[in-house]
Chain A
Amino acid sequence: MSLKDVNLPDIGEGVTEGELVQWLVKIGDTVEADQPVAEVMTDKATVEVPTPFAGTVKEFKASEGDVIPIETAMLVLDTRGAGASATPAAAPKAEAPTPAPAASAPQAAAAPQQAATASASADYYPPVADSKVLATPGTRRLAREMKVDINELSGTGLAGRVTREDVMGAFSGGTGAVSAGTPTMSLPPRMAYQGPAGAAEERVSMRGIRKKIAENMQMAKRIVPHFTLMEEANVTQLYKMRGEAKAYGEKHGVKVTYLPFVIKAMIATLREYPMFNASIDDEAQEVVYKKYFNIGFAADTPQGLLVPVIKNADQKTILELSAEITDLATRAREGKLKLDEMKGATITVTNIGSVGGTYATPIINHPEVAILGMYKIEDKPVMMNGKFRAQKVMNYTITADHRLIDGAVAANFMRAFVNRIQSPSNLMLDMM
């Protein structure tokens, strides 16, 4: 028997671990070298991890949902007799994988080769209250149900007792007990949902991109005080210009949409209002102004929302931007984006208008401080020189982090942006 571990490879700069979303093979499957064996999610991208060598799947070292450090064994292959003749296994994506029997067992962590894929704490959170923690049994249970680690609190009660209020305070991030350890944010509550008995309901585990989206959105909403400003722009000229550009692009095999024009107008406005292209370093209590323009754009994919990033968008032409947008969006839908292609945005544009809705209140892609929303173009009567005239009208929103950006600033930003959008010829003046 010739057993070899397949490790989780280094799948991107700065990535130290990945969550196993699902196995693409079963125990007993024969796999070829470079055949994807697992879907692993890191940060935002879900990648298919291939095996570097051929063999028969003997054992899984992790279960779905486990977080695996890189360079750690994921599964074991029996490489004996594997070769060119080995039949490649069909990757049955929908089929339930067989979890390694001991993977979720608490003692499994003790086995040296098990790595850190399983531990007792995987079974429950928060950890058991230390014997030195002073809190009533009821308060201890409340903390557990609210997912507050009572060991991290120093109580405000008599003799340091952790009170119900301390737990509630830690849970809402408000006053009350202060965290004894690092000033990490307490986790939001994980309330159970129990439907009526016998109700027609289906349960699907929150995994992969869905889980990551949920975490990111929750974090952004908890950290950032959002506000949204809405404005209407007369885009009749832009409509015409884009129509011509579209025809021109088609000749060059590029689909030109409104997004690159919006990006160009936004970048020009960002130069005027740099606090929209910034981040807040909460720990250092400093504002970081960015001198580069990496524009994220929201892409709807079957797995959920992804945000591909166009790097240095200020240095690219409308045609280049168009080609890059098409490429990134296509690969996002196919789940083939590289992790690097979804990192490092300085501001994000969300184009819900392509689907529908007049206005939305988007959530900022933290640690960015603003998100621009663009909505569908409609024919509307606009009063011009005393007469109603049919015009192309498009709605925009700017959602900003009020810690850094005040309402009046956002209104000025919006006015400057809309001016550019309404007179695209002026946009030329800003071009580099």
Chain B
Amino acid sequence: MSMYDVCVIGSGPGGYVAAIRSAQLGLKTAIIEREDLGGVCLNVGCIPSKAMITAAHFLHRMQHDGPTMGITASKIDFDMKQLKTWKQSVCDKMSGGVNQLLKGNSVDIIMGEAQWKSKTEIIVKTKDGSKSVAAKNFIVATGSRPIEIPGFQADEKDVVTSTGALDFEEVPKKMVVIGGGYIGLEIGSYMQGLGSEVHVLEAADGLLKGMADPDCVQVVARKLKKKGVQVHLGAFAKSWKKSGKQLEVTAEIKGKKEAIAADKILLTVGRKPNSDEMDFKKVGVQVDEKGFVKINAQCRTSIPNIYAIGDVAGQPMLAHKASHEGVLAAEVIAGKNRVYDAKTVPAVIFVDPEIASAGWTEEECKANGYADLKVGKFPFGANGRAVSMMETDGFVKIIANASNNVVLGVHIVGPEASNLISEAALAIEMGATLEDLALTIHPHPTLGETMMEAAEATLGHAIHIIQKPLRKPANGASANA
């Protein structure tokens, strides 16, 4: 039995990245995957949901924006089966790419489910028996899975999680989404766009609680309402029943019992770490009360040769955080001095319009000891490119430390927010000031100009919006002249 330098357990965006970097550093590397290469992200998460969102957005534009631009189609057909086929081809392409990358880097891929035998050995249950894999170091990247709530057990037929929802054969006429977090709203929004009547049941008093800047959420909530998505706040789903093909969800909404008819029930109340299936106790790896594997700033667990990254190792459960940690863990194993010291993990929510953020909200700034803040906003309605795209909802908001103008947080709601936020993340990592953003020439006409203008607005003098109070005119010239 050969000894690997590194064995990665799980091939999601954390695991496969860790494996590739390990191999790049000359370490003999194996990766274990029990389902599909690429994990949740590539197969039943980020990528397929974005394919569906793109389709729904496209359909919406053909139906609603086309005529204004003089484009009318006599009949717009939509075939869910074809959409599913295309979506699957996207996933297959990505998963195949991961396979190629791993092989190209000489990483041994072992398909099966891993179980600890000792600190340096795991047993992998493969389809034709079991196999022992010994390694000097392990990187646990087993990810997370959807949580269920009492009374709602996902069967992926009537009650589905995100996994089942991304695989619908046809568009359900009525869908009840339990949980108004980002996954529920992303899927709920596109399903509504594809023709479903969507009800969202959210227990809290607002959508996307704790996940996004409240001002940004407001824009999205307005748009959901405009599109006809029924949002119920303070709503607790209690039970469901099936009569014939018809489902019915009973919920307590603001203290009142209500019944909502549905064809599908989508359960998106959160995710929990996959730390309970590998018997970490056996090797002494410590797990916290929420089920996250405890790690230090080097992604090292309580057992020095076992590392953990991504969803299983703590919040935020985001693919790009997992990838960053994957690189980090691999480099630490290779003997490099590395720690996790990123200032921000940008977050993106693909609702309509998109929400993206980097750094802190105003509340978080205050909690971190920055009491004196400068906050400025610039609306997409004043941006030429946004207007010409017919996507004018939303704004860019920048929060800076008032004493030195260092950018502390950027929150975007609007078109391509997901693609705009990286500039903000860079600004925060670099310790950029409002001046740095404002003085960087942004090309015209682009959505990116909003970042420059928002920085100017925060400094009190954006060009394309009227900011009051106006400054005193210089040299005695009249302000009215």
Contacts and interface: CB of A to CB of B under 8 A. Distances in A.
Interface of A: 101-102, 104-108, 120, 123-125, 128-129, 131-132, 134-137, 140-141, 144-145, 147, 157-161, 192, 197
B78 to A, nearest CB: 45
B337 A105 contact: no
B341 A128 contact: yes
B417 interface: no
B284 to A, nearest CB: 7
B461 to A, nearest CB: 20
Contacts of B369: 132
Please report whether the interface of chain B is mostly helix, strand, loop or mixed according to DSSP.
loop
Contacts of A129: 341
B343 A128 contact: no
B337 A107 contact: no
B406 A134 contact: yes
Interface in B298-340: 298, 300-304, 335-340
Nearest to A161: B431
Contacts of B339: 124, 128, 144
B431 A104 contact: no
A159 B405 contact: yes
Given A105-B302, A141-B338, A159-B431, 5 more contacts: A102-B302, A105-B301, A106-B296, A123-B296, A123-B298
A125 B296 CA distance: 13
Given A106-B300, A145-B337, A159 B343 contact: no
Q: Which of A102, A132, A141, A159 has the most CB of B within 10 A?
A: A159
Contact of B429 (A101, A108, A136, A157): A136
Contact of A128 (B286, B297, B304, B404): B297
A159 B302 contact: no
Contacts of A128: 297, 339-341
Nearest to B337: A144
Contacts of B406: 134, 159
Interface of B: 26, 284, 286, 294, 296-298, 300-304, 335-343, 368-369, 404-406, 429-431, 433
A132 B294 CA distance: 24
Contact of B430 (A108, A124, A136): A136
B302 A106 contact: yes
A125 B298 CA distance: 11
Nearest to B368: A131
B118 to A, nearest CB: 12
A246 to B, nearest CB: 55
Nearest to B306: A105
Contacts of A159: 404-406, 431, 433
Contacts of A136: 429-431
B340 A137 contact: no
Nearest to A103: B304
Nearest to A147: B337
15 contacts: A101-B284, A105-B301, A105-B302, A123-B300, A123-B304, A136-B429, A137-B429, A140-B341, A144-B338, A144-B339, A158-B404, A158-B433, A159-B431, A160-B404, A192-B336
B136 to A, nearest CB: 15
A156 to B, nearest CB: 13
Contacts of B433: 158-159
Contacts of B341: 128-129, 137, 140
Top 6 A-B pairs, shortest CB-CB distance: A134-B431, A159-B404, A106-B296, A105-B302, A107-B302, A129-B341
A375 B16 CA distance: 63
A124 B404 contact: no
A55 B431 CA distance: 59
Nearest to A150: B341
Contacts of B297: 120, 124, 128
Nearest to B431: A134
B368 A135 contact: no
B455 to A, nearest CB: 14
Given A136-B429, A144-B339, A107 B286 contact: yes
Contacts of A134: 406, 431
B439 to A, nearest CB: 12
B335 to A, nearest CB: 7
A104 B296 CA distance: 12
A107 B294 contact: yes
Contact of A105 (B304, B340, B405): B304
A108 B26 contact: no
Contacts of B302: 102, 105-108
A174 to B, nearest CB: 23
A100 to B, nearest CB: 12
A120 B296 contact: yes
Nearest to A104: B304
A161 B404 CA distance: 11
B341 to A, nearest CB: 5
Given A124-B337, A159-B433, A102 B296 contact: no
A124 B405 contact: no
Contacts of B343: 131
B301 to A, nearest CB: 8
Nearest to A190: B337
A144 B298 CA distance: 13
A134 B406 CA distance: 9
A192 B332 CA distance: 13
A101 B302 CA distance: 10
A140 B328 CA distance: 14
Contacts of B368: 131-132
A56 to B, nearest CB: 23
Contacts of B342: 137
A192 B431 contact: no
A147 B339 CA distance: 12
A317 B404 CA distance: 71
A161 B429 CA distance: 11
Q: Which of B284, B296, B431 has the most CB of A within 10 A?
A: B431
Q: Which of B297, B337, B342, B430 has the most CB of A within 10 A?
A: B337
Given A105-B303, A120-B297, A124-B339, A197 B431 contact: no
Contacts of A137: 341-342, 429-430
Q: Which of A124, A136, A145 has the most CB of B within 10 A?
A: A124
Contacts of A157: 431
A128 B337 CA distance: 11
A336 to B, nearest CB: 35
A145 B331 CA distance: 13
A360 to B, nearest CB: 35
A131 B401 CA distance: 13
Contacts of A132: 368-369
A157 B343 CA distance: 18
B429 A102 contact: no
Contacts of A125: 337
B286 A197 contact: no
Contacts of A135: 431
Contacts of A145: 337
A132 B428 CA distance: 11
Contacts of A124: 297-298, 337, 339
Contacts of B286: 107
Nearest to A130: B341
Contacts of A120: 296-297
Contacts of A192: 335-337
B321 to A, nearest CB: 15
A332 B130 CA distance: 58
A338 to B, nearest CB: 36
